[in-house]
């Protein structure tokens, strides 16, 4: 029998808090969630996004759970097409039941278990098909286990998870990611020897910026445990504690990776802009150092303006014009100098004529 699409996926998250009313405002401020009672007067709180679609819930940790050693935490529910069959199989694999399966009117059927290594998780069959909103808001789930390989084997038999080759994180730590044949939905690692940490599931809430989530959390009374830091595959994470000491984490992806379609649209628009000026297209080749000299060689052709130094050639005619003026003056001077001897000769003739007592004959 084919399993429903939500089988094996984390389809609901629930905050078990010591004082839900005092802490719901913290998550609303950090993630911009809205908090409201499930029903008027109900002690169960529903977190939703701006569109009103439920993402997670919050309730007070019961005294019975405290008596059994339970602590305030986020509890993830994994989808199952048959909750009772999953419980029976889990018990056969070494798990034990913390809360038996029960029907919740208008919600579905759910149960809470503890896996063979001590981590708590829920099993849930929704009354209607899961919306997928929770999986989008909590986009990663991480299990800290006593022993990674048998821990994964347990969940693989229950939900059909598919493991990817483990990644070496250094220091002897191997990180195992898993999914359902498509994108990964979580990871598992072994708690380091000597660590006081107990096996537990840690949910990662999606945020546009893990760094901004950290700032908002601290400003609202939370604490940073680890990060913010980059992770393999892109994106950043930060692990935090809410004001009541419950651990959670936030995850963000790079804008370009998170929205590949919008990022691809500007590319075609940029081509026409580059195609217009040939000179503008050359800077794009800056990644190729060899192309740069070619681009600089063309300005040498602009050395033609030196040919415009023809004004110097025009200056020569001016220089020649001056000699002409001088030549004219010299010519006039010569004429005057030639004219002076004639006047001198006439004056001599007049003097000699006076002496001779006769008028000089006028030259016709």
Question: How do the domains of the chain map onto residue ranges?
Answer: 10-253, 318-356
Structure tokens at 250: 């936030």
For residues 191-216, average pLDDT: 96
DSSP letters, 223-286, are: EEEEEEEE-TTS-EEEEEE-TTS-EEEEEE--HHHH-HHHHHTHHHHHHHHHHS-HHHHGGGGG
248 falls in which pLDDT band (50, 70, 90)?
very high
Question: What CATH architecture does domain 10-253 belong to?
Answer: Roll (3.10)
pLDDT at 38: 92
Nearest alpha-carbon partner for 124 in 12, 247, 259: 12
**270 has a pLDDT exceeding 60:** no
Share of the chain above pLDDT 90, in %: 59
Half-sphere exposure for 296 (CA within 13 Å, toward CB) = 6
C-alpha to C-alpha distance for 87 and 158, rounded to whole angstroms:
9
Alpha-carbon distance of 265 to 23, in angstroms, equals 42
Lowest mean per-residue pLDDT among 36-50, 195-209, 275-289: 275-289
Q: How far is CA 212 from CA 53, 224, 250, 252, 325, in A?
A: 24, 12, 10, 10, 86
Phi, psi of 170 (to 5 degrees): 90, 155
Rounded Cα–Cα distance for residues 269 and 64 (Å)? 63
Q: State yes or no: pLDDT of 219 exceeds 80.
A: yes
The gap from C-alpha 113 to its chain's centroid, in whole angstroms, comes to: 39
* Residues 145-188: tens digit of each pLDDT: 999 999 999 999 999 999 999 999 888 899 999 999 899 999 99
């Amino acid at each position: 029998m084919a399993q429903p699409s939500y089988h094996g996926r984390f389809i609901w998250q629930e905050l078990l808090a010591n004082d839900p009313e005092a802490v719901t405002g913290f998550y609303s401020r950090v993630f911009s969630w809205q908090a409201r009672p499930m029903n008027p007067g109900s002690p169960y709180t529903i977190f939703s996004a701006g569109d009103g679609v439920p993402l997670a819930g919050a309730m007070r940790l019961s005294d019975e759970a405290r008596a059994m050693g339970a602590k305030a935490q986020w509890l993830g529910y994994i989808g199952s097409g048959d909750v009772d069959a999953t419980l029976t199989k889990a018990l056969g694999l070494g798990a034990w039941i913390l809360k038996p399966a029960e029907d919740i009117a208008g919600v579905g059927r759910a149960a809470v278990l503890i896996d063979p290594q001590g981590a708590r998780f829920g099993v849930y069959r929704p009354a209607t098909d899961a919306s997928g909103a929770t999986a989008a808001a909590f986009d990663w789930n991480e299990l800290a286990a006593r022993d990674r390989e048998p821990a994964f084997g347990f969940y693989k038999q229950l939900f059909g998870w598919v493991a990817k080759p483990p990644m070496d994180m250094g220091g002897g730590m191997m990180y195992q990611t898993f999914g359902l044949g498509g994108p990964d939905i979580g990871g598992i690692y072994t708690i380091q020897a000597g660590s006081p940490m107990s096996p537990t599931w840690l949910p990662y809430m999606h945020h546009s910026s893990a760094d901004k989530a950290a700032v908002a959390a601290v400003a609202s009374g939370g604490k940073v445990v680890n990060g913010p830091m980059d992770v393999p595959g892109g994106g950043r994470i930060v692990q935090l504690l809410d004001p009541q000491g419950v651990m959670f984490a936030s995850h963000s992806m790079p804008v370009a990776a998170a929205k590949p379609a919008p990022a691809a649209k500007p590319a075609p628009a940029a081509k026409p802009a580059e195609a217009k000026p040939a000179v503008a297209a050359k800077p794009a080749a800056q990644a190729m150092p060899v192309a740069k000299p070619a681009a600089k060689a063309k300005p040498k052709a602009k050395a033609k303006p030196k040919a415009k130094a023809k004004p110097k050639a025009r200056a020569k005619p001016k220089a020649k014009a001056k000699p002409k003026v001088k030549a004219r003056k010299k010519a006039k001077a010569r004429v005057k100098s030639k004219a002076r001897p004639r006047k001198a000769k006439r004056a001599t003739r007049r003097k000699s004529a006076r002496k001779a007592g006769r008028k000089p004959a006028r030259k016709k």
